Amino acid sequence: MNGILSHEQLQPLFYSQGADYCCRIQGEIDHPECQTVTYERQQYLKVICISKVAGNKSWKRASRKFLEVLS
């Protein structure tokens, strides 16, 4: 292989980026004052962390510690 990836090989990356974007946008819609209100920001960050955690043990450990800090 010459280092060039085909569209089919990049499709999981495109899906992951799209899903991440949707989670961030939904988090902003659900918590519109996340920039100014601490509680709203904590809830928004929980949404972001949960979207990253799905099926990934290292993310689960990291996000659990992160959420403990927020509490």
Question: How far apart, in whole angstroms, are the C-alpha atoms of residue 40 and residue 31?
Answer: 6
pLDDT in tens, 34-61: 888 888 888 888 877 765 555 555 555 6
Question: How far apart, in whole angstroms, are the C-alpha atoms of residue 43 and residue 50?
Answer: 11
Tokens of 5: 């990836």
Q: Are 46 and 67 in contact (CB under 8 A)?
A: yes
pLDDT in tens, 12-22: 778 878 878 88
Torsion of CA 43, 45, 51, 55, to 10 degrees: -100
Q: Which residue has the tokens 């904590």?
A: 42
Domain edges within the chain: 19-70
Angle (CA) 28-68-31 rounded to 5° is: 15
